[in-house]
Amino acid sequence: MAQDLLQETFIQAIRSKAKLADVSSPRAWLFAVARNIAMNTIRRSPPLVSLPANLSQDCPQPDPRIERMRQAITKLPIAQQETLELRLTQELSYQEIATVLEIPLGTVRSRLHNAVGRLRQVMQKAGE
């Protein structure tokens, strides 16, 4: 499925190459195309089946702080989760995130600020 989505992303990018000349960040524009294709695919797909819990018996135990952080991230509003993911995982700049999500730069800053503040609170409480 990932290969199909990647292929569809580049097909759409090639079809829209005239728009590419007008964008300030081709990287952010391509992420936006990929995000839109992925979101449309998710909306049309049936729910995914969870993996069995005993699948990772041979794996070493992860740092419990990482799991607490993951749990805290899942409790953030979806908009904050998505913004945080683009910043941390994809390493996009604030401007690129604004372009991908089609939101003002100030909104990106406030979402990240609020997300980090909330995560800091959760991690401090967990450390007590």
Which has the closest alpha carbon to 81: 72, 91, 68?
72
Average of per-residue pLDDT values in the chain: 83
Structure confidence by residue, pLDDT tens digits, 79-96: 999 999 999 888 899 999
Residues in the chain: 128
Structure confidence by residue, pLDDT tens digits, 15-46: 887 887 788 888 888 888 888 888 888 778 77
Q: How far is CA 80 from the centre of its chain?
A: 9
Higher-confidence residue of 90 and 112: namely 112
Strand ranges inside 60-118, DSSP E = none
Whether the per-residue pLDDT at 51 is higher than 70: the answer is no
